[in-house]
């Protein structure tokens, strides 16, 4: 397990360059808190990052940097419009370039973040491209309608496809003039991109700001040198070349912190009719920065049980506990048990519970998986006695957790 399992407390917006900072722009009637660079400008409640003007290039950032290392989720709606074939595209960017909220790259196929000619690239960046122009050599785009996750580690960023961690063609034409949404979710170890409200990511890649990831074409991609190890500037870039289109953001929200724990698998039903369920109060912290509790509720009263965990569920499918059991083993071996406990409550009723203070467990016992690092996974499940049942025991469902710093 890890140094702290769970309570990522509610994140609060704090007006400080190094503090938690959540924000929401339902529209851009006000651009307070934003820095607009180059051609970026507010217009009729929207944010036009680059207008349909030859060689336009613009950027719009949250003026103060935010903590991205521990995870975040951001959603924006956009509209890219051109009368016919347009160019070049727009990005969501996370960067720690020395120019901060003044950073701006080149025009054309560099989409306002890369460098070419007299223009200097933004350095130290992770970029999600909305690319609607096949630029040919030396970019080698897969097509003229794709979303790509780009990085060159702490070096000069560019739209060269060799710097893609993953890419996909969305189920719409990026420059169709219609409104579309993008959600980007980063939990240390995983970066996912969702479009138009889908619950399945269009792209999901292994990535960590500290350690990097792997390029789609192979080879290691370095991580970023975040400010103070945690912070970066976030926002948008866009550009036109000889062909033009209007690149507009119509809303934007940002929530700092890793995504919530994921409950999965199916609880068994005890012979008393109880189907206990497991949960966690938040993601664990590798440095024990957060309090942590894993809980099981709805258990049969006065039954001995415990919580056990594993570290890697890759390729694993739940296994029926026995031929006649309603329980499933949801965690891949090797696993480790925590201390046994009694559920409390009333015998024969479903009012028992089990809890595990994860930080205390790690401080007291040698634990499988230590030392933990941000991005590590943990899978926890409950086991409890049920003498009349098959194998005289049953299992709860399971919860997947991802460590934050």
Residue 41 confidence (pLDDT): 98
Residue 22 confidence (pLDDT): 87
Q: Which two tokens stand for residue 348?
A: 């024969």
Residue 3 confidence (pLDDT): 34
Residue 258 confidence (pLDDT): 63
Q: Domain ranges in the chain?
A: 31-256, 262-402
Q: How would you write the chain as a 3-class SS string?
A: CCCCECCCCCCCCCCCCCCCCCEEECCCCCCCCEEEEECCEEECCEEEEECCCCCCEEEEEECCCEECCCCEEEEEEEEEECCCCCCCEEEEEEECCCCHHHCCCCCHHHCCCCCECCECCCECEEEEEEECCCCCCCCCCCCCCEEEEEEECECECCCCHHHEEEEECCCCCCCCCCCEEEEEEEECEEEEEEECCCCCCCEEEEEECCCEEECCCCCEECCCCCECCCEEEEEEEEECCCCCCEEEEEEEEEEECCCCCEEECCCCCCCCCCCCEEEECCCEECCCCCCCEEEEEEECECCEEEEEEECCCCCCCCEECCCCCCCEECCCCCEEECCCEECCCCECCCCEEEEEEHHHHHHHCCCCCCCCCCCCEEEEEEEEECCCCHHHEEEEEEEEEECEC
Q: Does domain 262-402 have CATH number 3.90.1280?
A: no
Return the closest-CA partner of residue 362 out of 339, 342, 329: 339
Residue 15 confidence (pLDDT): 30
- Spatial separation of the C-alpha atoms in residues 153 and 126, rounded to whole Å: 8
**Claim: this prediction has a pTM higher than 0.85:** no
Angle at 185 between CA 49 and CA 307, to 5 degrees: 165
Strands 57-62 and 231-239: antiparallel
Residue range 31-256 forms a domain whose CATH class is: mainly beta
- Spatial separation of the C-alpha atoms in residues 52 and 241, rounded to whole Å: 10
Residue 363 φ then ψ, to 5°: -70, -20
Residue 19 confidence (pLDDT): 38
Cα atoms in the 13 Å half-sphere on the side-chain side of 106 = 16
What pLDDT tens digit does each residue of the chain (405 aa) get?
A: 333 333 322 222 223 333 347 899 999 999 999 999 999 999 999 999 999 999 999 999 999 999 898 889 999 999 999 867 788 999 999 999 999 999 999 999 999 999 988 899 999 999 999 999 888 888 899 999 999 999 999 999 999 999 999 999 999 999 999 999 999 999 888 899 999 999 889 999 999 999 999 999 999 999 999 999 889 999 999 999 999 999 999 999 998 876 678 899 999 999 999 999 999 987 788 888 777 899 999 999 999 999 999 999 989 999 999 999 999 999 999 999 999 999 999 999 999 999 999 989 999 999 999 999 877 889 999 999 999 999 999 999 999 988 876
- Spatial separation of the C-alpha atoms in residues 237 and 61, rounded to whole Å: 9
């Amino acid at each position: 397990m890890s140094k702290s399992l769970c309570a990522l407390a509610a994140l609060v917006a704090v007006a400080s360059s190094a503090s938690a900072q959540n924000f929401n722009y339902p529209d851009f009637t006000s651009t307070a808190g934003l820095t607009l660079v180059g051609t970026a400008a507010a217009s009729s409640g929207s944010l036009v990052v680059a207008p349909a003007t030859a060689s336009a290039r613009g950027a719009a950032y949250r003026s103060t940097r935010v903590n991205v290392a521990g995870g975040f989720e951001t959603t924006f709606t956009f509209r890219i419009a051109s009368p016919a074939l347009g160019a070049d595209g727009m990005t969501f960017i996370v960067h720690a370039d020395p120019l901060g909220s003044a950073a701006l790259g080149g025009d054309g196929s560099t989409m306002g973040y890369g460098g070419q000619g007299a223009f200097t690239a933004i350095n130290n960046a992770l970029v999600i491209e909305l690319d609607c122009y096949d630029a040919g050599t030396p970019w080698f785009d897969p097509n003229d309608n794709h979303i790509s996750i780009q990085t060159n580690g702490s070096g000069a960023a560019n739209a060269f496809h060799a710097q893609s961690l993953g890419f996909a063609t969305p189920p719409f034409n990026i420059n169709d003039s219609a409104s579309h949404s993008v959600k980007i979710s980063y939990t240390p170890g995983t970066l996912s991109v969702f479009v138009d409200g889908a619950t399945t990511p269009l792209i999901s890649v292994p990535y960590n700001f500290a350690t990097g990831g792997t390029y789609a074409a192979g080879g290691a991609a370095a991580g970023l040198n975040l400010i103070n190890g945690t912070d970066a500037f976030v926002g948008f870039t866009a550009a036109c070349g000889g062909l033009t289109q209007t690149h507009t953001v119509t809303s934007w929200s940002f929530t700092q912190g890793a995504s919530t724990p994921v409950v999965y698998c199916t609880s068994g039903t005890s012979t008393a009719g109880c189907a206990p369920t497991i949960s966690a109060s938040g993601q664990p912290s590798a440095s024990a920065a957060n309090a942590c509790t894993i809980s099981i509720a709805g258990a049969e009263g006065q039954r001995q049980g415990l919580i056990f965990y594993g570290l890697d569920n890759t390729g694993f499918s739940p296994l029926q506990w026995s031929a006649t059991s309603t329980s499933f083993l949801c965690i891949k071996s090797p696993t480790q048990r925590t201390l046994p406990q009694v559920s409390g409550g009333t015998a024969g009723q479903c009012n028992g519970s089990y809890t595990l203070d994860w930080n205390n467990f790690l401080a007291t016992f040698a634990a499988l998986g230590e030392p933990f690092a941000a991005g590590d996974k943990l899978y926890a499940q409950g086991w409890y006695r049920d003498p009349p049942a098959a194998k005289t025991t049953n299992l709860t469902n399971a919860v997947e957790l991802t460590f934050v710093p």
